[in-house]
């Protein structure tokens, strides 16, 4: 059957995958967002449901005032003898640590730190030994993959950290994972940087510490040679290997969907893609069909292609238990109240422009084509909806209270420029029903007032893109409030439809 990529849509980068008791699990990076490391399950590798996050306590992850795209980088998720392990790097303090659990639907342990530098830490369990692998530099300062053996109970190093591979020559050698198949150890990595030159490369050795010999036809997977109208999928890299339901092996990796043909950009973040690999008689593997990833990939098993119910959003199901809602940095729990079909937010003096924790609760944008509608009332100075890339790049549509007047305001914030585009006066007793319609190129903003839809203005998706904003994240739709006197506002009748076309 043909499956549609991305298999997990929206800002879910650096996927790592494991399988336990017939179920697949994927964990992704989360940077400045909390809870950290979104976690998904699937029975068929195609239909993925978010089940929670791995790092849910401040004792596990400190995000106080971390820069955007700081915080939690690239996890590795593994299952070994009844336990799940998740190892990550908190890039803000440059520390690598892991947590574990025997119940992936419950809480994870406190962090155990490992004294090895470098990002993209990985764990490899093999014949009773545990290896800790990350990116780094050798004695001469050249990029390489580093490895040591650790005691998994304490995180203590049992051997020295040594360089094991220096890659195939691409810049930013990172994302190492080791697998043991037959007589060989395979070391898969990413090179080229997580942009348009991104790629997956690998090497093999009969010894876990090397020497590793690179695959002659590296990169084994990349979309870097596809440009113009050949492919809207770019940035393929940073992958992990897993055996599929059909017994074949697959790579899950990141990529993104670009907009615009010349000088392309992407604003939905890096997403999760699936590609089958094929083993050759000589013990090397290649990507099935071609070394590129397509939107529609043939796989040798059946599964559930249904995506819509994964990404549409309402308040009908309990907001407090829907794992897709996410906060910024070290949020203040007491400023959020969840009712059966409503949400109340208490504004603080922290605004969306601050590198801090405004009162904000958001969900990742997963499709270009979306339609949002939400009703807002209350006393906060500012309460509304934001399409938010980071504190320097966001479009805000909000109910504003100034000197007893009530307005709906559309404001855009791009880099150093902030501009109010439109103010629309409301009568005191009216609630504001805010609507936003997006497509690939733009967001269009409306207020529904006295049963009529009033157009307020538009703003381009381009200025919320990674190419403009920089960083590793993607756009969130967030509900937020700001108020210097801590007043509350109420959000109800939320409906956010996300469609592929
Ligand atoms: C991550 C690195 C990468 O640590 O981007 O795409 C970095 N690859 O491996 C941040 O996600």
Active site residue 483: no
* Residue nearest ligand 1's atom 9 by CA: 175
Burial class of residue 141 in the structure, from the number of CB atoms within 10 Å of its CB (0-12 exposed, 13-18 middle, 19+ buried): exposed
d(CA 154, CA 157): 9
For residue 12, give both structure tokens. 């879910």
CA 60 to ligand 1 center in whole angstroms: 21
pTM above 0.95, yes or no: yes
Active site includes 282? no
User: Is the shortest distance between the CB of 175 and ligand 1 below 6 Å?
Assistant: yes
What is the Å distance from ligand 1's center to 74 Cα? 6
Ligand 1 site, residue 14, Cβ cutoff 6 A: yes
Checking phi first, is residue 170 left (phi over 0); if not, alpha (psi -120 to 50) or beta? beta
Q: Which run of H or of E encompasses 389?
A: strand 382-390
User: What is the bridge-based pairing of β-strands 184-191 and 143-150?
Assistant: unpaired
Kindly give the number of the ligand 1 atom that is closest to the alpha carbon of 174.
9
Q: Which residue has the tokens 């603080």?
A: 348
Q: pLDDT per residue over 10-58, tens digit each?
A: 999 999 999 999 999 999 999 999 999 999 999 999 999 999 999 999 9
Question: What's the gap in Å between 473 CA and the centre of ligand 1?
Answer: 11
Residue 434 CA to residue 424 CA, distance in Å, equals 11
Is the CB of residue 190 below 6 angstroms from any atom belonging to ligand 1?
A: yes
Q: What is the pLDDT of residues 119-175, one digit of tens each?
A: 999 999 999 999 999 999 999 999 999 999 999 999 999 999 999 999 999 999 999
How much distance in Å is there from the Cα of 172 to the middle of ligand 1? 9
Site to substitute for ligand 1 among 11, 13, 92, 118, most atoms within 8 A of C-beta: 13
Contact by Cβ (8 Å): 235, 194 = yes
| Residue 374, Cβ density class (10 Å: 0-12 exposed, 13-18 middle, ≥19 buried) | buried
Q: Are the beta carbons of 418 and 412 closer than 8 angstroms?
A: yes
Mean pLDDT to the nearest integer, 448-455: 93
Does 308 have pLDDT greater than 70? no
CA of 195 to the centre of ligand 1 (A): 10
Instruction: Give the span between the Cα atoms of 21 and 175, in whole angstroms.
Output: 26
Residue to mutate, 120, 189, 254, ligand 1, most ligand atoms under 8 Å from C-beta: 120
* pLDDT value at residue 501: 74
CB 234 within 8 A of CB 222: no
**Does the pLDDT at position 428 exceed 90?**
no
Q: How confident is the model at residue 222, as a pLDDT?
A: 98
C-beta 265 within 6 A of ligand 1 = no
Interatomic CA distance for residues 307 and 469, integer angstroms:
28
DSSP H or E segment with residue 338: strand 336-338
Q: Is the dihedral of CA 40, 25, 254, 470 positive or negative?
A: positive
Q: Report the alpha-carbon distance of residue 377 to residue 344 in Å, rounded.
A: 10
Q: Over the stretch 95-123, which tens digit does the pLDDT of each residue have?
A: 999 999 999 999 999 999 999 999 999 99
Least confident range of 91-95, 215-219, 442-446: 91-95
């Amino acid at each position: 059957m043909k499956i549609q990529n991305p298999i997990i849509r929206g800002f879910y980068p650096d996927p790592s995958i494991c399988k336990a008791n017939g179920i697949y699990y994927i964990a992704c990076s989360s940077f400045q967002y909390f809870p950290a490391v979104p976690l998904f399950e699937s029975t068929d590798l195609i239909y993925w449901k978010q089940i929670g996050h791995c790092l849910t306590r401040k004792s596990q992850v400190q995000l106080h005032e971390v820069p955007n795209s700081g915080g939690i980088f690239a996890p590795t998720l593994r299952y070994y003898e009844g336990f799940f392990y998740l190892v990550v790097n908190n890039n803000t303090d440059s520390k690598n640590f892991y947590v574990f659990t025997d119940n992936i639907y419950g809480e994870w342990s406190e962090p155990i730190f490992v004294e090895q530098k470098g990002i993209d830490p990985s764990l490899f369990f093999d014949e009773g030994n545990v290896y800790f692998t990350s990116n780094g530099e050798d004695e001469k300062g050249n990029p390489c993959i580093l490895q040591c053996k650790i005691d998994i109970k304490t995180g203590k190093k049992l051997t020295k950290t040594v360089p094991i591979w220096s890659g195939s020559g691409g810049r930013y050698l990172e994302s190492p994972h080791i697998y043991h198949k037959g007589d060989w150890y395979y070391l898969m990595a990413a090179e080229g940087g997580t942009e348009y030159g991104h790629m997956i490369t690998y090497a093999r050795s009969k010894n876990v510490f090397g020497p590793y010999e690179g695959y002659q036809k590296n990169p084994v997977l990349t979309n870097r040679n596809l440009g113009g109208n050949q492919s809207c999928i770019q940035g393929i890299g940073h992958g992990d290997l897993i055996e599929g339901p059909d017994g074949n092996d697959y790579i899950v990796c990141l990529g993104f969907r670009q907009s615009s043909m010349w000088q392309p950009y992407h604003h939905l973040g890096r997403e999760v893609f699936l590609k089958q690999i094929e083993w050759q008689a000589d013990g090397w593997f290649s990507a099935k069909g071609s070394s590129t990833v397509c939107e529609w990939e043939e796989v040798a098993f059946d599964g559930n292609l249904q995506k819509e119910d994964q990404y549409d959003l309402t308040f009908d199901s309990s907001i407090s238990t829907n794992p897709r809602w996410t906060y910024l940095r070290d949020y203040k729990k007491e400023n959020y109240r969840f009712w059966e079909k409503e949400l109340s937010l208490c504004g603080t003096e922290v605004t969306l422009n601050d590198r801090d924790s405004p009162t904000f609760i958001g969900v990742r944008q997963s499709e270009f084509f979306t339609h949002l509608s939400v009703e807002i009332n209350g006393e906060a100075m500012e309460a509304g909806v934001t399409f938010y890339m980071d504190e320097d790049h966001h479009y805000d549509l909000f109910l504003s209270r100034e000197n007893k007047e009530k307005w709906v305001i559309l404001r855009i914030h791009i880099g150093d420029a902030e501009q109010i585009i439109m103010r629309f006066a409301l009568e005191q007793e009216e609630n504001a029903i805010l609507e936003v319609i997006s497509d690939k190129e733009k967001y269009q903003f409306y207020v529904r007032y006295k049963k009529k839809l009033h157009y307020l203005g538009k703003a381009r998706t381009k200025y919320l893109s990674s190419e403009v904003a920089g960083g590793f994240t993607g756009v969130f739709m967030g509900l937020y409030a700001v108020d210097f006197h801590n007043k509350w506002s109420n959000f109800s009748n939320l409906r956010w439809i996300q469609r592929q076309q």
